[in-house]
Amino acid sequence: MNLKMDDFDFHLPPGYIAQTALPRGASRLMVWQGEKDPVQHDCFRNIEQWLQPKDCLVVNNSRVIPARLFGYKKHTHARIELLLHREIEPGRWEALARPAKRLQPGVMLIIGGEEILVEKVGERGGIMMRFASAKAGWRIIWRFGITPLPPYIHRNFRQPTPQESIDRRRYQTVFASHDGSVAAPTAGLHFSRILLQRLKKKGIRVVPVTLHVGWGTFAPVTPEAWSNHKLHAERYVIPAGTVKAVQECRRKGGRVIACGTTTARALEAASHPREGLTAGPGVTELFIRPGYCWKQVDGLLTNFHLPRSSLFMLVCAFAGTANIKHAYHEAVKHGYRFYSYGDAMLCVPSSQETFNNKRHIDETNAGT
């Protein structure tokens, strides 16, 4: 398959990027059931009508931390902005710094009256920093941090407003329970607790995985990533109970529906040719794009993504590039809201036999 990054470009007119979130469940829902069926338009609160008893909905329960921090250099008082990436060990973090040109190892930063040591300065603004202790670090993060909204949602981060308290609550799923993400698993933002109860009442099982989303999710796909078939690394955990639920779903003839590209990535990364889906922690650099042989995911719930992004490529890998480009054209035509705070799309192929042929486990392509 001779793919090019240009194959995943599309035009999105200005004004389609959602800047605020609607109440949970109030967003629109586009439903794609196969290339022979026209897309359907509905409201997200009706999603259970498109799912079946015995289906298993897998969600990402990672919790977004307020990872954007503002401070200054101790000796020069020059202002600095930090975007945390991940905790390497207790109290020690990878982060992006802006501006980073004049940062050097050994510089002390001050945030909320607390000192943070810059240990290492890398490329493209990346730094390694250490809080006085792990406890001090988390205290600073939760007290002084700002919700790490993506750059296409416009906020004045330097002047906290009432919108920050709204974003801190709304840019978080109702099932978030494990701190670690610096970007939300946005497909899960649509669910309310009442809606989850309705799904369970219908016989749809809802089970978690944990994948901590890094800021690399917003990074453009580089030529190196394209040629190496690898993306930014993200940590995940697959609970044993989720593995059991997926296996039971398969035995009963149900479908495994991944809530979001992050959940899909975790499920596929934890799938092995012989053992199938395996429980436990892991780190994945999996780059899912057209040509990938799906192993665990039968249906995909997702938001509408950026052109040329790895997330858009993953959705194209699931339903076909031409199909998804057509669906996105329909989304623009019908005024759907795009990106993190936008509307949702459910891909559930109606011909399961055809899809099973497409998602068989092929050991030669397992690492594609």
The better pLDDT of the pair 90, 37 is held by 90
Q: Cα separation of 321 and 252, whole Å?
A: 31
267-279 confidence digits (pLDDT tens): 999 999 888 999 9
Q: Give the chain's mean pLDDT.
A: 91
Work out the number of other CB atoms within 10 angstroms of the CB of residue 317: 22
> What dihedral angle (degrees, nearest 10) is formed by the CA atoms of 66, 142, 170, 21?
-40
pLDDT band of 359, cuts 50, 70, 90: very low
166-192 confidence digits (pLDDT tens): 999 999 999 999 999 999 999 999 999
Angstrom CA distances, 240 to 209, 246, 247, 357, stand at 10, 10, 11, 27
pLDDT band of 215, cuts 50, 70, 90: confident
93-131 confidence digits (pLDDT tens): 999 999 988 899 999 999 999 999 999 999 888 999 999
pLDDT band of 74, cuts 50, 70, 90: very high
Q: Which CATH class is domain 68-145?
A: mainly beta
Total count of residues recorded for the chain: 368
The better pLDDT of the pair 226, 56 is held by 56
pLDDT at 362 > cutoff 90: no
Query: Any idea where the domains of the chain sit in the sequence?
Result: 6-64+170-365, 68-145
Q: Residue 138 corresponds to which amino acid?
A: W
- Quote the DSSP letter at residue 169: H
Q: Right CATH number for 6-64+170-365 from 3.40.1780.10, 3.40.50.300, 3.20.20.105, 3.40.228.10? A: 3.40.1780.10
The better pLDDT of the pair 225, 355 is held by 225
